[in-house]
Structure 1
Amino acid sequence: FWNFKSRTTLRFLTWFELLNIRPVSAARVSGRYLTHQKGLPGLPVPPLQQTCERYVRALEPILEVDELKQTRELVAEFQKAGGVGERLQRSLEKRAQNTENWLSEWWVLVAYLDYRLPVVVHSSPGLVLPRMNFSDKQGQIRFAAKLTAGVLDFKTMIDNETLPVEYLGGKPLCMNQYYEVLSSCRIPGLKRDSVVNHAKTSKHITVVHNFQFFALEVYNSDGTPLTADQLCIQLERICSASLQTNVEPVGILTTQHRDSWGKAYVNLSKDKTNRESVSAIQRSIFTLCLDGAMPQVSDEMLRSCAAVQMLHGGGSQWNSGNRWFDKTLQFIIGEDGVCGANYEHAPAEGPPIVALIDHAVEYTRKPEMAQTPMVPLPMPQKLHFNITPEIKKDIEEAKHAMNILAQDLDMMVTVFGHFGKNVPKAHKMSPDAFIQMALQLAYYRMYQRCCATYESASLRMFRLGRTDTIRSASSASAAFVRAFDDPSKPKVDLMEKAVNAHRSYTNMAITGQAIDRHLLGLKMVAVEEKLSIPDIYTDTAYAKALHYKLSTSQVPSKTDCVMCFGPVSSDGYGVCYNPMNDHINFAVSSFNTCKETNAAHLAQAVEGALLDMRTLLEQTPKAKL
């Protein structure tokens, strides 16, 4: 849970520094955003030979010797002078010269819009906020109103193009994703989905309560956003107008396999009323989901159950129908103080979403403003749906499939409370590399082998940059984890090498020199030019390289929250973490249908690995780490 370019040499940055992004305020200058964007470099195409060498190196810890030998031969063939690799490389370089970003359009299609599994669990991340201090309808409405006012406050900066530009290592970052998260929505297709954005015209939000949808205008006639007091009145009206509970949960259709939802969408859209209601949801700024209370659970399990609510809503008997999962941004406010968000991944990565949420949550903590003079407000508009027997059948199928998926997901949210970023930083180590090596050690202790590991790296140093892959499993990490529990082996040097290898790969990735998107680009060129797919892509090693049993992401925030997402392979784990100064929030997921995986066991193993690595550091105070 799966939100950089110039060729000039970057100072060797720690991952902590990379994520400690500095915002720099800007004055209101019309068109400033576009000027800023034009000044960003384009995504480079790495040298072919460099990528081929790094690809083979990345396979070393996860392949058997004989498999590696065969792959070396195929790679040598692929990159030989005058060969197919060189032809594809030339075409890719030409594309890079003629497009804003040679990757971004392909990436959105391959990673999201062509991907046909449900967005729920498989693609869309959830975000769990700290539990808020209310436990009734009144408190829920008040908090929802303040949060909405906070999002609208952030939207003003987007609309005025006064959003502070972010910098990384002195270089400005692409701000495009911030302009894509509000007022946009995914639309299901029969074979491929699309995304629409209504930023120029959107004036309302969608509110869902008891599976019923409402369009709520959030701007006064003079163009000013509604205040928290005004929003409170409107949300109370919505809750009063939707007390009945025997309503067909139309929103659950958005949890389906995309092909099934594409067909159901055609059925749903035949009716004019349905078409208008769906259009109102798609055009809204964001969706606000007012949920009923969750089942009572122990304090220890509360965060994990909250993560389930944010990821999929808990199944048809709980809140899975109280959503529109195609909406780019959904805020979820439970009556019991359980709050968070879910976002559809196609338009953006986690960091812009987190920045928006940090701003909105901070806004809710501001003291109450003076009472707003009350002007009559128009009634929120209820969005009606005509449910035919065919649509009813689609809804029942969606409920059934959602319940199977909900039962299959194993989710564990833990707070590692022994230390946070402070310990690795005190030893001059990158906190992210330190945590990634703990994940490698934990996995190795559970399975006695290394696995392909994905960590998301931001490419926002480049115009329209999205992500590349940091491959955390390296020869250095393999040597480290294999030696760790062997008393006869020296470990500190190996840990230092593993951490440095990770930091080095991170630096490569954010400067556009990693291997995964380059290899994808070369393959896409072959497809577009109708060439036969080169053998390196049909080689079992390539499939193994992309079979991520650990899919990981660091999503830091000011708010003490954690993002969560499902595994990307049926026998793997999803691991998201937010390193705070003195603790680390982890969300670990796996599938119950896989007997080899267990989210709680991995979370426990990570805790043990982190503690053992700290002990090793403290026993070797002079180590130059």
Structure 2
Amino acid sequence: MAEAHQAVAFQFTITPEGIDLQLSYQALNQIYLSGVRSWKKRVSRMRNRVIKGVYPASPSSWLIVVIAILATMYMRSDPSMGLITKIKQHLPLSLHVSLSAQGQTMLSALVFSTLLWLSLILALRFCLKLLLSYHQWMFEQHGRISNITKVWVTLLRLLSSRKPLLYSYQTSLPHLPVPAIKDTLSRYLLSVRPLMADPDYKQMTELANHFESNLGNRLQRYLKLKALWATNYVSDWWEEYIYLRSRGPIMVNSNYYGMDFLYVTPTPVQAARAGNTITALLLYRRKVNREELKPSRVPGTVIPLCAAQCERMFNTTRTPGVETDVLQHWQDSEFVAVYNKGRFFRLWVYRAGRLLSPREIEYQIQRILDDPSPPQPGEEKLGALTAGERVPWSHTRKEYFSSGINKRSLDAIERAAFFVTLDDEEQGMRGEDPAGNLDRYAKSLLHGKCYDRWFDKSFSIVIYKNGKSGLNAEHSWADAPTVAHLWEYTLATDAFQLGYTEDGHCKGDVDRSLPLPQRLTWDISSEVQAQVNSSLAVAQALADDVDCHVFPFRDFGKGRIKKLRISPDAFIQIGLQLAYYRDRGGFCLTYEASMTRLFREGRTETVRSCSNESCAFVKALEDGEAAEHCRQLFRQASERHQNLYRMAMTGAGIDRHLFCLYVVSKYLGVESPFLKKVLSEPWRLSTSQTPVQQMELFDLKNHPDYISLGGGFGPVADDGYGVSYIIVGEDMINFHVSSKYSCTDTDSHRFGAQISKALQDIMTVFSADTKTPKVPAQPQAKKLL
């Protein structure tokens, strides 16, 4: 109870003799040390601003420029071509009086050197931005690298040679370009051709042509104006209209989950697992604050990705509103919020400016687990407010949580670094039904009991009774790769760096004088309890309708696929097309998430994986055509898919451009039949690959069981599937499939079986090919850089 300690740091009483002042030196010392930590963070932030502000140069390069200028002047040469003399003439009169002629010359030389240094920095940053704007490397193949790309690689390596901070590249990243409207429309029509009958396609073509020649160009002009003014013409509208303005529940519909190791639980002690996990997360936060993390890059290259999403990772909450929610971010937080058995606690993780050891956090967590006090009236299911509709939660929050003890307790949750649930269930692949338990594990992380997670927090950590862990992440502040990077670090640090004692406890010593975790108190009225029950009913109906299926595919992995010189992602995506065709008897609009973080503040773009080429392969395979013909069609489909992915990554996607044109039309108050039809099309197959970004943290050779399950999300369409997959090592692909029980046409387990069979059948087609493939499918730049 650090707040209470600080409040009684000094006491005084008024007596007839005067004021009797009694100081608590221990409490004052803690306040002093906490202040020192705060100032250290401020100084560190200021230092980092200077370092990243001059990148790709360094602060010490200023001294080099000054010495070079002074050395040249010492040799009686004027490197400034008269500018130093002019600066000397314009020095303030007071300096002319107080400084000698030689001193004035030295000062003028320093001013000139500084201006020259700043000019060189701007020139270097401009050059770096130009280099990062070049994306042709992504479309070149092995053995056919152009001379331009070779020179570009050399220059980029040269300018990136100095070790960057996390945000060093931010101002050098290019802005997302606005594609030509004609190109976007032609790509859109090509993407829907295999999904439409001839009359429907003809009608859509006419709508597109009419849109282009009339309203489209007008909307495009406004969009280009925004692109000139804004850092990213998509991201702010995407965050607001796709996420924050959604009035339905964010549980299942928006939030997603990440899982623990598949085969291993580092410790069965719940408090110990919580201690190491919380410590690892806070160490990651320290790296983010100090910008000690290496900037994310395109895998296998030196090309940086935007790191803006890291800024709101911790101390962030989505607060509800009537028309739109708001993301609130605080600069720092010295505590986490903990939920256990219907009670909420504030757990201070710093004392006297020092991060508690994992063993001390375990000790504090165990005190929460051992606390016998029951929940206060209305407290147990309070979290259901964050799981239900947003408007009722907004009204309830404003009316009943804007003052008094309710506001103080709610602030403790919302301002916490993150949220922790100490779950009273056991989860994981265990017991006599490991497959079924994996499915229940996924459902638990996706929605839990609908009231034992705080779905508004940027992310919530779940620690189960048997030591298994996982997370649930809110989607508006960042996309899955950012959270996956955090979770990879957490799992690796927990298992391999922090570790456990032989009896399963955290390592380190315990200061048993630590104050008890602070129990949060509430005054929950009958009106609030009624709204809690109402929100819980909505959330429970949504949760009960979700059909989750998680399964590891072990027949082969990327190792065998890459031997065929085929992109593993293209292989899986075409496999999903085959599986869906067999499951539903046709094709559908397919969403695959791609990132646009090559650009500043970039988020995602859609890869429309269902193409003419992939449909041709599926039909040929199902019609029993010759294997050689099927292989040829597959390679064409694979190359087409990769090209679509590259175009999406380099700003030439379809859907974000059309989305922004639609937003502009709404602001102008004009209707577009074309845009309305495009944006109403359902994504019945929504897919995403969870990237493995830090394989160096995991030693799969010596610890093969420490493989991640990845994570998943709920279905996007009521009659569709959500499919997430993670390619782990060389020999395994983990799949997460979701759908809704209420749709009689979908079944997650049936679709999972179709995915496995589709992948096996495609590999069988290629197993009959004894020739060495000559068509490379991987972008060669990954090998070059």
2:225 corresponds, among 63, 77, 94, to 94
- Tell me which amino acid in the other structure corresponds to 2:245: D
2:716–2:722 CA contact under 8 A, matched in 1: yes
1:447 corresponds, among 584, 587, 590, to 584
Q: Are 2:471 and 1:353 equivalent residues in the alignment?
A: no
- Tell me which amino acid in the other structure corresponds to 2:533: E
Matching residue of 1:19? none
1:36 corresponds, among 169, 172, 183, to 169
Matching residue of 1:509? 648
Instruction: Structure 1: give runs of 5+ residues left out of the alignment.
Output: 15-21
Secondary structure of residue in 1 paired with 2:169: helix
The 1-side partners of 2:596 and 2:326 are apart by 23
> Residues 370 and 436 of structure 1: is their aligned pair in 2 closer, same or farther, counting only changes over 3 Å?
closer
The structure that has the greater radius of gyration is 2
- Write out aligned runs for 1:118-137 (5 A): 118-130=249-261, 132-133=264-265
1:25–1:164 CA contact under 8 A, matched in 2: no
Shift of 1:206: 0.8
- Write out aligned runs for 1:376-391 (5 A): 376-391=513-528
Matching residue of 1:202? 333
Q: Are 2:361 and 1:231 equivalent residues in the alignment?
A: yes
Q: Are 2:286 and 1:149 equivalent residues in the alignment?
A: no
1:11 corresponds, among 131, 138, 142, to 138
> Residues 226 and 324 of structure 1: is their aligned pair in 2 closer, same or farther, counting only changes over 3 Å?
same
Q: Deviations over 1:181-227 (max 9, x none)?
A: 111010011121110111x2311111111121111111221x33211
1:26–1:164 CA contact under 8 A, matched in 2: no
Secondary structure of residue in 2 paired with 1:348: coil
Matching residue of 2:712? 564
- Tell me which amino acid in the other structure corresponds to 2:409: S
- Tell me which amino acid in the other structure corresponds to 1:78: F
Q: Deviations over 1:341-385 (max 9, x none)?
A: 000000011111111111111111234586336263232211112
1:25–1:165 CA contact under 8 A, matched in 2: no
- Tell me which amino acid in the other structure corresponds to 2:197: E
Secondary structure of residue in 2 paired with 1:165: coil
The 2-side partners of 1:205 and 1:245 are apart by 19
> Residues 245 and 486 of structure 1: is their aligned pair in 2 closer, same or farther, counting only changes over 3 Å?
same
- Tell me which amino acid in the other structure corresponds to 2:256: P
1 or 2 for the larger relative contact order (CA 8 Å, sep ≥6)? 1
- Tell me which amino acid in the other structure corresponds to 1:75: A
The 1-side partners of 2:285 and 2:717 are apart by 36
> Residues 173 and 90 of structure 1: is their aligned pair in 2 closer, same or farther, counting only changes over 3 Å?
same
Q: Are 2:350 and 1:219 equivalent residues in the alignment?
A: yes
Secondary structure of residue in 2 paired with 1:185: strand
1:491 corresponds, among 611, 615, 630, to 630
Q: Are 2:603 and 1:456 equivalent residues in the alignment?
A: no
Q: Deviations over 1:472-519 (max 9, x none)?
A: 001111111111121235211111111111100000001111010001
Matching residue of 1:340? 470
- Write out aligned runs for 1:300-319 (5 A): 300-313=435-448, 315=449
The 1-side partners of 2:679 and 2:458 are apart by 32
- Write out aligned runs for 1:460-479 (5 A): 460-479=597-616
- Tell me which amino acid in the other structure corresponds to 2:289: D
2:407 corresponds, among 236, 250, 275, to 275
Matching residue of 1:535? 673
> Residues 256 and 373 of structure 1: is their aligned pair in 2 closer, same or farther, counting only changes over 3 Å?
closer
2:683–2:717 CA contact under 8 A, matched in 1: yes
2:743 corresponds, among 578, 590, 594, to 594
1:135–1:335 CA contact under 8 A, matched in 2: no
Shift of 1:265: 2.2
Higher alpha-carbon deviation: 561-570 or 396-405 = 396-405
- Write out aligned runs for 1:59-208 (5 A): 59-80=192-213, 83-130=214-261, 132-133=264-265, 139-168=269-298, 169-198=301-330, 200-208=331-339
Q: Deviations over 1:86-124 (max 9, x none)?
A: 121121111111111111110001110011221111100
The 1-side partners of 2:342 and 2:160 are apart by 41
The 1-side partners of 2:294 and 2:420 are apart by 26
The 1-side partners of 2:642 and 2:433 are apart by 39
Q: Are 2:392 and 1:255 equivalent residues in the alignment?
A: no
The 2-side partners of 1:352 and 1:167 are apart by 12
1:562–1:577 CA contact under 8 A, matched in 2: yes
Q: Are 2:390 and 1:241 equivalent residues in the alignment?
A: no
- Tell me which amino acid in the other structure corresponds to 1:495: F
Secondary structure of residue in 2 paired with 1:147: helix
Matching residue of 2:94? none
- Tell me which amino acid in the other structure corresponds to 2:172: G
Matching residue of 1:554? 689
Shift of 1:166: 1.6
Secondary structure of residue in 2 paired with 1:206: strand
> Residues 426 and 134 of structure 1: is their aligned pair in 2 closer, same or farther, counting only changes over 3 Å?
closer
Shift of 1:13: 7.6
1:287–1:330 CA contact under 8 A, matched in 2: yes
2:166–2:291 CA contact under 8 A, matched in 1: yes
1:206–1:281 CA contact under 8 A, matched in 2: yes
Matching residue of 1:578? 726
Q: Are 2:639 and 1:500 equivalent residues in the alignment?
A: yes
1:577–1:587 CA contact under 8 A, matched in 2: yes
> Residues 8 and 620 of structure 1: is their aligned pair in 2 closer, same or farther, counting only changes over 3 Å?
same
Q: Are 2:764 and 1:610 equivalent residues in the alignment?
A: no
Q: Which has the higher helix share?
A: 2
Secondary structure of residue in 2 paired with 1:192: coil
The 2-side partners of 1:41 and 1:478 are apart by 35
- Tell me which amino acid in the other structure corresponds to 2:648: A
2:275–2:362 CA contact under 8 A, matched in 1: yes
> Residues 13 and 194 of structure 1: is their aligned pair in 2 closer, same or farther, counting only changes over 3 Å?
farther
The 1-side partners of 2:392 and 2:670 are apart by 31
Please provide the CA RMSD for this pair.
2.3
The 1-side partners of 2:474 and 2:261 are apart by 21
The 2-side partners of 1:604 and 1:25 are apart by 46
1:186–1:195 CA contact under 8 A, matched in 2: yes
> Residues 28 and 377 of structure 1: is their aligned pair in 2 closer, same or farther, counting only changes over 3 Å?
farther
TM-score, normalisation: structure 2: 0.73
Shift of 1:299: 1.3
Secondary structure of residue in 2 paired with 1:126: strand
- Tell me which amino acid in the other structure corresponds to 1:507: R
1:6–1:511 CA contact under 8 A, matched in 2: no
The 1-side partners of 2:136 and 2:359 are apart by 52
> Residues 614 and 562 of structure 1: is their aligned pair in 2 closer, same or farther, counting only changes over 3 Å?
same
> Residues 418 and 479 of structure 1: is their aligned pair in 2 closer, same or farther, counting only changes over 3 Å?
same
- Tell me which amino acid in the other structure corresponds to 2:242: A
The 2-side partners of 1:27 and 1:554 are apart by 32
The 2-side partners of 1:487 and 1:293 are apart by 49
Q: Deviations over 1:436-465 (max 9, x none)?
A: 000000000112211001011011111111
Matching residue of 2:184? 51
Q: Deviations over 1:259-309 (max 9, x none)?
A: 232223234315511111111111111111110124877112121111011
> Residues 87 and 334 of structure 1: is their aligned pair in 2 closer, same or farther, counting only changes over 3 Å?
same
Shift of 1:27: 8.7
Matching residue of 1:523? 662
> Residues 156 and 249 of structure 1: is their aligned pair in 2 closer, same or farther, counting only changes over 3 Å?
same
> Residues 262 and 385 of structure 1: is their aligned pair in 2 closer, same or farther, counting only changes over 3 Å?
same
